[in-house]
Amino acid sequence: MSAATEAFLAMLAAERGAALNTLAAYRRDLGGAEEAIGDLAAVERDAVAGLAQEWASLAPASVARKASALRQFFGFAMDEGWRGDDPSGALPAPRSRRPLPKLLGHDQIAALFARAEDDAMGNEPRAVRQLALIELLYGSGLRATELVALPLSAVPRDAPFLTITGKGGATRLVPVGARALEAVGRWMAVRPALPASRFLFPSKGGAHLSRIRLYQLIKALAARAGLDPAQVSPHVLRHAFATHLLEGGADLRVLQTLLGHADISTTQIYTHVDAARLVALVNSRHPLATRATSD
């Protein structure tokens, strides 16, 4: 990659606190663009316009993501004085709607937890860890990255809250329910003694459980519970947490705080509920709902 692109990535890490996964995504998108059209700090506008053809086979969401990365780079390049123009107007701008996350119903959640609880009956450490993981995913709505990186110091002592460091280094307090507290307590009782690890869910090497391993564990559990593994993931459990809280009457602003969303529009998409339930809510709760219509 060019020196300018590396400088941009360094800025994202230092000034914006971008997570490793975010940096990796920017590196892929910017690196791919450089392979196609050359050094982004010096490339001509016509070459930038040619990316539309280069990206023709990609989904609209992928094109939008790549274009966003380049727009940010070009803005940075102008601020640094490397470019006197901003060619981002030549980038393709597809219109795409964010897909709604997959949704698990209450019966599916119950089946998943019943299987996890059965697995943990013998108090085998891996099974107890599995139960603690899904309790925190569904009970507190944590992101996969936040969950696996939880330090031991995050385990609640005086108050049932976790202090979570989320995207961009932002911190938030997340309540932990009684079930999750019990599951975490069971895990702490059987957690392997690894003095070198400061993480709640350590790996053998002293680091923390990986996101990939978490995904594998959740999908394997789904299969044992009779669910389609393709429909179940840590992200789906986070979405179920938000959706089911909303169904129970939680305020959207509260959900925004719990989920760690900077923009409430993200929460509105994340906590989508079906139209029929909304219609029923209006019919039962609106002040005019119980008044008879005049002839």
Domain map (residue ranges) of the chain = 3-90, 106-279
235 is catalytic: yes
**Residue 156: pLDDT band with limits 50, 70, 90:** confident
**Lowest mean per-residue pLDDT among 39-48, 69-78, 226-235, 257-266:** 257-266
Using CA atoms, how far residue 74 sits from 14, 15, 45, in Å, is 18, 17, 11
Q: Which residues lie closer than 8 Å to 284 by C-beta, 6 or more apart?
A: none
Question: CB–CB of 256/119 below 8 Å?
Answer: no
Could you please state the CATH topology (level 3) that the domain comprising 106-279 is classified under: hpI Integrase; Chain A (1.10.443)
Is it the case that residue 59 has pLDDT exceeding 60?
yes
138 is catalytic: no
Phi, psi of 162 (to 5 degrees): -105, 140
Q: Which whole number is the average pLDDT over 190-212?
A: 82
261 is catalytic: yes
Candidates 45, 65, 167, 211; catalytic one: 167
Do 3-90 and 106-279 fold alike per CATH? no
**Residue 279: pLDDT band with limits 50, 70, 90:** low
Length of the chain counted residue by residue? 295
Q: What is the pLDDT of residues 239-276, one digit of tens each?
A: 888 888 877 777 778 778 787 777 766 666 655 554 54
Q: What pLDDT is attached to residue 260?
A: 77
Give me the chain's average pLDDT, please: 84
Q: What pLDDT is attached to residue 281?
A: 63
Is it the case that residue 107 has pLDDT exceeding 80?
yes
Q: Give the residue, 260 or 82, on which the prediction is more confident.
A: 82
Q: Which residues of 141-162 are buried (b: 16+ CB within 10 A; e: fewer)?
A: bbbbbbbbbbeeebeeeeeeeb
Is it the case that residue 85 has pLDDT exceeding 80?
yes
Candidates 143, 186, 191, 208; catalytic one: 143
Residue 208: strand pairing partners:
202
Nearest Cα neighbor of 254 from 246, 180, 108 is: 246
Q: Which residues lie closer than 8 Å to 144 by C-beta, 6 or more apart?
A: 137, 211, 214, 215, 234, 235
* Residue 135 to residue 186: CA distance in whole angstroms: 12
Candidates 83, 238, 239, 244; catalytic one: 238
39: Cα within 13 Å, side-chain hemisphere: 9
Candidates 65, 71, 224, 235; catalytic one: 235
**Lowest mean per-residue pLDDT among 34-43, 177-186, 207-216, 286-295:** 286-295
Distinct helix (H) and strand (E) counts, the chain: 14, 2
One-letter amino acid for residue 21 of the chain:
N
Task: Render 22-83 in DSSP notation, one character per residue.
Answer: HHHHHHHHHHHHHHHH--TTT--HHHHHTHHHHTTTS-HHHHHHHHHHHHHHHHHHHHTTS-
Q: What is the pLDDT of residues 111-152, one digit of tens each?
A: 999 999 999 999 999 999 999 999 999 988 888 988 998 888
Q: What pLDDT is attached to residue 174?
A: 82
* Residue 201 to residue 154: CA distance in whole angstroms: 11
Question: CB–CB of 138/241 below 8 Å?
Answer: yes
143 is catalytic: yes
Could you please state the CATH topology (level 3) that the domain comprising 3-90 is classified under: DNA polymerase; domain 1 (1.10.150)
pTM of the model as a whole: 0.61
Is it the case that residue 29 has pLDDT exceeding 90?
yes
Q: What is the dihedral of CA 129, 131, 132, 138, to 10 degrees?
A: 140
